[in-house]
A and B are shown apart, each in its own frame.
Chain A
Amino acid sequence: MSHKTLTEKIFESHLDREPKVGEVVVVDIDFAMGQDGTSPLAIQKFYEMGGKKVLKPEKIALVIDHGAPSPNEGFSNLHKLMRDFAYEQGIKLFDIGSGICHQLIPEYGFAGPYDIIVGADSHTCTYGAVGAFATGIGSSELSAVMLSGKLWFKIPASIRVVLSGKLPAGVYSKDIILYLAKLIGADGATYKALEFDGEVIDQLSVDARFTISNMAVEVGAKAGIFPVDDKTKLWLKEHGRENVKDLSIDPLANYESTIEIDVSKLEPQVALPHRVDNVVDISKVGDVPIHQGFIGTCTNGRLEDLEIASKILEGKQIHPKVRLIVSCASKSIYLEALRRGIIEKLINAGATIIPPGCGPCVGTHAGVPSDGENVISTANRNFKGRMGNNKAFIYLASPATVAVSCLTGKITDPRRYL
């Protein structure tokens, strides 16, 4: 078999033989991660399994991002458990203020092509943007990796997603992945890997690719992998990874199916409450007043996203009935956004900046909406109760759509404001 999917190529590099779709294999893990919602249970189970020393502490990182800084004593005690464990075991700990796990792992050079990475967080698939097979696992599995350095996988079949055409102004990678969710549904790729191909990839920055890989799990996928090109190599070099191997798509490989999307005709997309695949063209949203906007998260809290929003908001004021919350995905993004004057523009327009981290994305703190309120967010999930109040309504969109909607006070097409 000379034609292989990206997934097969990556597993082959770990098995030293050709993998077969559907077979169960145990492989060495290149890097593993846990956050503050999942690590405490992993630490507990590590000891239950009889663990004393973590096998390869240099291949693990723990991140305090879901409740950072701690909103209550319960969280504080779990954070302490993580800090003590990381210190004892010599594991890298990203404490409060560092940022979101899925930004930090690639930013610190822990993710790259051919890596097999697991994280006790479903959006670990984000690192597929730089050519890794990365997927979410549970806490017990993180314990197993800490103990043995290995994990089992069922080799998934792959779906090739071909993105063709040219992205219109005001339409972004977020709109592409929301559109894909509409097309195939929340379980459209369950147990499968998505592999991205097509001329549009050249038009996307690595930041923009992270947004797409990040949401692969929202259509059920195990991974969302991009081939590696010069842009990826440059990005990786800037983040401490040099001399990476090529990883390219072979359209003749055994893809279970191929999905073609011509992005030239794409409108900005909005996911309506309470489902990520409940997506419509922005022209069909109708009149929806907005009470809170949120720009941030592991989906769209990167420099490019903040810059897009600040250009729209520069010299203007958000609507008096709207609150806008902004959280940078990491400390280094925060610092760069400060240097470039992005943060100042956002604050002057009326935004509230909260520390780098998950913020209100998962409803733990820092921006829980009130009953009946509508929130427009750059996050990846809009489930009922997601932001901490099951009587609120969450709409998902690109940073441009969120910024413009905060100006007008209702969901608004950004193309008219660029």
Chain B
Amino acid sequence: MIIRGFAHKLGDDINTDYIISGKYKFKTLDMKELAQHIFEDIEPDFIKKIKPGDIIVAGKNFGCGSSREQAPLVIKNAGLSAVVAVSFARIFYRNAINNGLPLVECDTSNIDDGDELEIELEKGIVKDITKGFEIQINPLPPFMMKLLQDGGLVEHFKKYGGFSIE
């Protein structure tokens, strides 16, 4: 899986309330509509600043807070292609993989807002094309890679009729 896009840099501890505020998430299951409010509490008009394929780059503990699966779904439905962060909160991590949203854990301190990035998931490499450096990352554990490649948990269940690793 090769992903290419421009970085949108955010800080540490971006919680799921910031990704999509609780006041919207309960109103509808329409993720396209919810995506209009992505990151609204911390960066109004964020949705207007992004282009399809762009990549979120953040600090530590991205996705902490609630278990709302709307968080990775809204990121996907806003047209963003991946999240690169120093670390992720565990429920967000699971939810993202379960919905086919690629996540990469690595040092993000040298990546700046607007840098063009290329991620090669299988090889475990993030390239900063703008600045010309590469970061080696730990590839996902095999089972999670499989879920991601299947396109998420729904597709995985459709394919295998349950978990493939019982």
Against A, the Cβ 8 Å flags (1 = close, 0 = not) of B63-89 are 011111110000000000000000111
Task: Knowing A137-B94, A383-B65, A384-B42, say if A49 contacts B158 (CB, 8 Å).
Answer: yes
- Write out, one digit per residue, whether chain B residues 2-31 have a CB within 8 A of any chain A CB (1) or not (0): 000000000001010110011101111100
Smallest Cβ-Cβ distance to A44: which chain B residue: B29
Which listed residue, B23, B41, B66, B70, touches A364 by the CB 8 Å rule? B23
Residue of B29, B61, B91 near A136 (CB, 8 A) is B91
Known: A138-B91, A144-B153. A37 touches B163 (CB 8 A): no
Q: A140 to B98, Cβ gap below 8 A? A: yes
Interface residues of A, CB < 8 Å — how many?
54
A330 within 8 A of B: no
Residues in A neighbouring B60, C-beta threshold 8 A? 187
B90 sits at the interface (CB 8 A):
yes
- Flag if A120 contacts B90 (CB, 8 Å): no
Give the B interface residue count (CB, 8 A). Answer: 43
**Bound: A49/B99 CA distance, A:** 13
Select which of B18, B70, B88, B163 is within 8 A of A383 by beta carbon: B18
Q: Are A384 and B18 in contact (CB under 8 A)?
A: yes
How close is A145's CB to chain B, nearest CB, in angstroms? 11
Q: Which of B132-166 contact A (CB under 8 A)?
A: 141, 143, 152-154, 157-158, 162-163, 165-166
Give which listed residue, B28, B69, B158, B162, contacts A140 with CB less than 8 A.
B69
- Which residue of B has the minimal Cβ distance to A36? B26
Structural contact, A138 and B157, CB atoms closer than 8 A: no
Q: Of A66-74, A301-309, A371-379, which binds chain B?
A: A66-74
A190 lies within 8 A of B69 (CB): no
Nearest-neighbour CB distance to chain A for B151, whole angstroms, equals: 12
Q: Pick the contact of B165 from A24, A364, A385 — CB < 8 Å?
A: A24
Q: A170 within 8 Å of B by Cβ?
A: no
**Judging by beta carbons under 8 Å apart, are B66 and A122 in contact?**
yes
Minimum C-beta distance from B73 to chain A (A): 8
A383-B65, A386-B17 known; A37 vs B94 contact (CB < 8 Å): no
Q: Which residue of A lies closest to B61 (CB)?
A: A187
Interface centre among A120, A137, A191, A383 (most CB of B within 10 A): A383
Distance in angstroms from A235 CB to nearest chain B CB is: 26
- Are the C-beta atoms of A37 and B29 separated by less than 8 Å? no
How far is A24 from B97 in the complex, measured between Cα atoms in Å? 15
Residue in chain A with minimal CB distance to B91:
A136
B29: A residues at CB distance < 8 A: 40-41, 44, 78
Give the contacts of B27-65 with A (CB-CB under 8 A).
Answer: 27-29, 41-42, 60-61, 64-65
| Interface residue ranges of A134-153 to B (CB < 8 Å) | 136-141, 143-144, 147-148, 150, 152
Residues of B within 8 A of A275 (CB): 13
Q: How far is the CB of A223 from chain B (nearest CB, A)?
A: 10
Contact between B152 and A24, CB atoms less than 8 A apart: no
Are A191 and B25 touching (Cβ within 8 A)?
no
With known contacts A50-B158, A67-B26, A38–B69 Cβ distance under 8 A: yes
From known contacts A187-B89, A364-B23, infer whether A220 and B69 are also in contact, taking CB-CB under 8 Å: no
Q: Is the CB of A140 within 8 A of B64?
A: no
Q: Are the CB atoms of A186 and B165 closer together than 8 Å? A: no
**Once the chains are docked, how many angstroms separate the CA of A138 from the CA of B162?**
17
The verdict on A331 contacting chain B, using a C-beta distance below 8 Å, is: no
Interchain CB contact under 8 A, B67 and A388? no
Interface pair A152/B23, CB less than 8 Å apart? no
Cβ of A139: which chain B residues have Cβ within 8 Å of it?
A: 69
A385 touches B163 (CB 8 A): no
Q: Are A120 and B67 closer than 8 Å at their CB atoms?
A: yes
Residue of B13, B26, B28, B42 contacting most chain A CB atoms (<10 Å): B26
Q: For B25, give the chain A residue with the smallest CB separation.
A: A37
For A152, list chain B residues within 8 Å (CB): 143, 163, 165
Q: Does the CB pair B27–A150 fall under 8 Å?
A: no
Check if B26 sits within 8 Å of A75, measured CB to CB: yes
Find out whether the CB atom of B90 lies under 8 angstroms from the CB atom of A138. Answer: no
- Assess whether A78 is in contact with B26, with CB atoms less than 8 Å apart: yes
- Cβ–Cβ < 8 Å partners of A67 in chain B: 26
**Nearest-neighbor residue (CB-CB) of A383 within chain B:** B17
- Judged by a CB distance under 8 angstroms, whether A381 is at the interface is yes
With both chains docked as a complex, state the minimum distance between the C-beta of B85 and any C-beta of chain A, in angstroms: 11
**B67 near A136 (CB under 8 angstroms)?**
yes
Are B61's CB and A220's CB within 8 A?
yes
**Would A37 and B22 count as touching, CB distance under 8 A?**
yes
The residues of A with any CB-CB pair to B shorter than 8 Å are 24, 26, 36-38, 40-41, 44-45, 48-50, 66-67, 72, 74-75, 78, 119-122, 124, 136-141, 143-144, 147-148, 150, 152, 154, 186-187, 190-191, 217, 220, 222, 275, 362-364, 381, 383-386, 388, 390
A–B complex contacts, Cβ < 8 Å, 11 sampled: A24-B143, A38-B69, A45-B153, A49-B154, A78-B26, A138-B69, A187-B87, A187-B89, A190-B88, A220-B64, A390-B21
Closest 7 CB pairs of A and B: A74-B27, A138-B95, A187-B61, A138-B69, A385-B41, A136-B67, A122-B67
